[in-house]
Structure 1
């Protein structure tokens, strides 16, 4: 072999070794990414001075658009409107002197980002919420950020727009209506004087849709849409610990590495783990509980912790919010002392402060021209009037101390429709943020701030189009031509709003969420699962595994029927547990089709002879022959089989 040939062979071998190492490294990264461990590592920065927000003492008499609320969604809406040439008033009625709301005053400083579907080893997953959100995001430290940095970047975005006036510290803000049309707001200023500001366009970016509710927009509260108005997700009081030196942070990171537990990890700005903090014994066990720690680092040797859950709080009631602060502040010294004793690396920490505002996850859900459903999310549906996308897990935080919370499933990508920010009954108004027109279950994913900022950017841009075309927002929401113009405008301004089809993406089987999605979508019991999901009675976790082929048991089916009562309490009045033989443990007994039919008869208070319940329920229409034929083993029903029985029951009682 010539020297030239040997050289070529050596180069080829080295190249092959390089590619093997590269693929191995990327593959390892993919494994981590597929489990949700990889975040933007970020970097610790220099502590900044908080910049003052330039405000106007006396707003003008009128503006093209008024944005109420200085949360991230409000900032995005105002900046978007201003960049589209509109005179804009950004006004806030809470005791705030900085911008950013939940992020900068609620101290929710770890982001729940939405990424496009994972297409395989060599494909970089991009953030779905391009536009003003990513413009802001690129200027902070990472997926966890310093709240002063965040506030200053929000301030910078607003200050760069000459046609935005900011008015803070209003005592109250009330809608002004002419019939069913919003014509502006009435502001009671800090000095007690009243100013009415006119506008044909108002964007409600308050956390709880305060302006919309005051204007008469219909809404549901908490889990009311699935028959459980008294329940809502826990609120959280974020707290700050000091003495978090680089050495302490390194020790925390090493603990996460040593744990090796799925769902734990650390980087330069974030630590997520310490799952055994859920075992902390609260003094007020009926109102307070801890969960695993979500920790976001600050630039001044402190860190913020989102983990303290407080129950039974109405986020729309100032007195109830004050009670949450009282409950939290009584418990926190004990929590910190517990942490110091339990974890050696935290022995030197001290409680520094609590967030100025409460992190409220759920209150009002307005009724809009379209209501985002759990099936929209779990089926990964596109929308013709898409204005943003989501993919974050459907995260239902605990409802009570006895509850453990749940993950309904993980969407791959779904669209937010413009119609979901257009409220019913009131014209001249848009509602952005977590209180938009989403059912309570999809709200578990759509409530995250990047989604809200995407919808807010669309809201701001749509005001210009509605003005140019002399349309109401409701008319715009029904016009495919006008929506296409809005989408073109947003795409030109950095938002990526392309149609998508999950099935056409040919995603790899290594994508667990996709594999689970295909499995349940193609399952013979999917029509039943749809009903169970819509009632909040089925969860697939992070891999979308609903265990449709797993054997059920009598207790599980009883729980399914008891849970269904909340949606139809006037019809489902009986007790299905009476079907269980005395002296037996329902958890150990398989569900036969006959037993299932007997339980349906009991819960609906229908006559069904012993041993002939199936025929009785068929004759009365509570069970269909199609479902009976679908069940392969009538002596041992699977979870999927029981969902099909549930489907038949609800098809009957909803008529």
Structure 2
């Protein structure tokens, strides 16, 4: 989670403070004694069959189970990690500051409402703020599950594997904590594991990390959240009043900022560093800090995950010492440990019936089969110590299609949360937990509808009438599936918007928090174009088989990019025979650009970014037959 980009308006801050007074006791040690974390007790008897099995007890899985149960289905909620509470990343990864999907027009209701509503809103009203006490969150999840008589919970199983009949998942093979093996049949399975473990085991195709943009090795950094104690009201107010470079902000339970904290030099800068601080207050005189970035951790390798935890546990006390020395506001606080689990941002991305794209987010696209909506910034965290991460852009509102929950090839299975069918760049927005909880609610309702209609999920994903009924049912069950009206963003009105879509989809341009860093009318330069076309070879090696290189002396950073230079770089990238003098005619002949486009260029000796982006777009279309729309 990056430092928050959009400051919540004053009236929402006031309402949140009021809600805290209603829902949360004062943050003192005495108040902390008023409640304890409620551990989850596994069912003593697991039935031989259920209507649906939900794999994974992260928030997305909890909501899927509750949704299915409220739709009258018999549910088994099963977990194969060593957990004794519900809520996973929020309650054991200690990610207690929520990346909220704000409506383009924030509702003036109390408590404040955000996109999707539904079960997420029901849970959010119980925890009382933009950050929360992890015990209260765990208890809210537990209470919501306990209220549903149709849910059996099975924790700490040794293994859970999909049971297959041809290309259909028909249940799970489960080995319980005591070693008992059991075959449990089900009409459907919902994979809500963080990494899409069930769908991978079932043979669903997927990509890893940034593979879809030609980088199969890199993944966003993982984080180990740590805790500080001694946070009374006086200390909290001092923390909120701090002002540092890079800006920041706060509300009743959250602080984001301290941007100059990233000056910290770690014990191994290639493996771990910190960025600005995201701080969430708890009710027991503690606060949790999300700042650490740990590199080269394989989220699918238990040994690598354990290494990540050890790195974080070693580094956390050093970070706290640094904060105490650098900021007087931290001087009285004490280190109080690290989270039981790592915060992993990215691993598998399913290939579903539809894959969410950057063009969808940049167009703020609605879908006929939208079952949830997102609006969080496209937050690409650092994936190497040498790269600080980026906000690619901030959408107003976009839909998540039901088809993005339906895997290719395999039936009887839905996938929710961050492992659903999202390209890696839009995943930077769609991975946030509130949106994942909405996909969980939609999946639970879809299992019931598919059963009623005697349809497979794939058939349902292609049925206009079936999806219309699903959206109708979800609306009756508290979800808000309306697309808010808002003006078209200025970048989308630009005559070279189609070029911007192409370059941003390559991962070669960012708009930042203001959606303005693309600088479409500003001057381009040869090095920027050269770096952009390197993506051609990574993403489309068949169309661009020969990676080319140019002497950097031919690509001076300070020089503006001319049309002649651009044509030569493009011709070389596409493997076309050309000289600096003939390249322009060569790319015209290959229909990469047209004479009409050339006539529209303001200054051929000084191309703008927008004009360069259009040449990139034309190259992809002419050489690789790829368009981003």
- Rounded to whole Å, the distance in 2 between the matches of 1:70 and 1:247 is 36
Tell me if 1:523 matches 2:507: no
- 1:646 deviates by 0.7
**Secondary structure of the structure 2 residue equivalent to 1:64:** strand
1:542 to 510, 513, 523: 513
Q: Does 1:593 align with 2:563?
A: yes
Contact 2:41 2:155 in 1 (8 A): no
Q: Does 1:421 align with 2:392?
A: no
For residues 512-560 of structure 1, what are the alpha-carbon distances to aligned partners after superposition, in whole Å with 9 as ceiling and x for unaligned?
xx6xx2x221212111111101111111111111210001122222222
TM-score under structure 1 normalisation?
A: 0.89
- 5 Å-filtered alignment, 1:235-246, equals 235-246=222-233
* Corresponding position of 2:86: 99
Which residue among 542, 553, 559 is the counterpart of 2:525?
Answer: 553
Aligned position for 1:115: 102
Report the 3-state secondary structure (helix = DSSP H, G, I; strand = E; otherwise coil) of the residue aligned with 1:187.
strand
1:136 is matched with: 123
* SS of equivalent residue, structure 1 residue 66: strand
Q: Residue 268 of structure 1: which of 252, 257, 264 is its match?
A: 252
Matched, 1:461 2:441: no
Aligned counterpart, 1:442:
426
Shift of 1:123: 13
What corresponds to 1:18 in structure 2? none
CA distance in 2, matches of 1:417, 1:119: 23
Q: 1:572 to 1:556 in 2, by over 3 A?
A: farther
1:612 Cα deviation from its structure 2 partner: 2.6
Secondary structure, counterpart of 1:139 in structure 2: helix
Q: Residues 377-414 of structure 1: CA distance to partner in whole angstroms, max 9, x if unpaired?
A: 11011110111111111111111111111111111111
CA distance in 1, matches of 2:109, 2:606: 44
CA distance 1:220–1:37, change in 2 (3 Å) = farther
> Any conservation in 2 of the 1:572–1:603 contact (CA below 8 Å)?
no
Match of 1:496 in 2: 480
Unpaired runs of 5+ in structure 2? 1-5, 26-30
Partner of 2:211: 224
Judge conservation of contact 1:140–1:149 (CA < 8 Å) in 2. Answer: yes
Residues 1:578 and 2:547 are matched in the alignment: no
1:334 positional shift: 1.4
Per the TM alignment, residue 626 of structure 1 is displaced from its structure 2 partner at its CA by 4.0
What TM-score results when the alignment is normalised by the length of structure 2?
0.92
Task: Give distance in 2, aligned partners of 1:462 and 1:366.
Answer: 19
Quote how far apart the aligned CAs of 1:501 are. 6.5
Matches within 5 A, 1:187-586: 187-256=174-243, 259=244, 263-498=247-482, 500=483, 502=485, 505=486, 507=487, 517=489, 519-545=490-516, 546-569=518-541, 571=544, 573-575=546-548, 577-578=550-551, 580-581=553-554, 586=556
Q: Residue 242 of structure 2: SS of its match in structure 1?
A: helix
2:77 counterpart residue number: 90
Give the Cα–Cα distance (whole angstroms) in 1 for the partners of residues 111 and 493 of structure 2.
28
Q: 1:522 to 1:139 in 2, by over 3 A?
A: same
Q: For 2:224 and 2:189, locate their aligned partners in 1 and report how far apart those are by CA, in whole Å.
A: 30
Larger Rg: 1
CA distance in 2, matches of 1:653, 1:57: 61
Cα deviation, residue 628, structure 1: 2.3
For residue 254 of structure 1, report the CA deviation from its aligned partner. 1.4
> Which residue does 1:20 correspond to in 2?
none
| Aligned-partner SS, 1:491 | helix
Q: Which residue, out of 560, 571, 581, partners 1:611?
A: 581
Distance 1:447 1:162 in 2: 30
**Structure 1 residue 244: Cα displacement:** 1.8
Moved more, 37-46 or 55-64: 37-46
The 1:263/1:648 distance shift into structure 2, 3 A limit, reads same
Aligned counterparts of 1:639 and 1:115: Cα–Cα separation in 2: 31
In the alignment, the residues of structure 2 paired with residue 122 and residue 79 of structure 1 have an alpha-carbon distance, to the nearest angstrom, of: 25
Residue 58 in structure 1 maps to residue 45 in structure 2: yes
Q: CA RMSD in A?
A: 2.2
Are 2:615 and 1:628 aligned? no
Distance 1:79 1:409 in 2: 33
Change (3 A) 1:613 1:579: farther
Question: Conserved in 2, the CA contact under 8 Å of 1:622 and 1:648?
Answer: yes
1:99-139 per-residue CA deviation (whole Å, 9 max, x = no partner) reads: 00000000000001112113899999841120000000001
Equivalenced residue count is 606
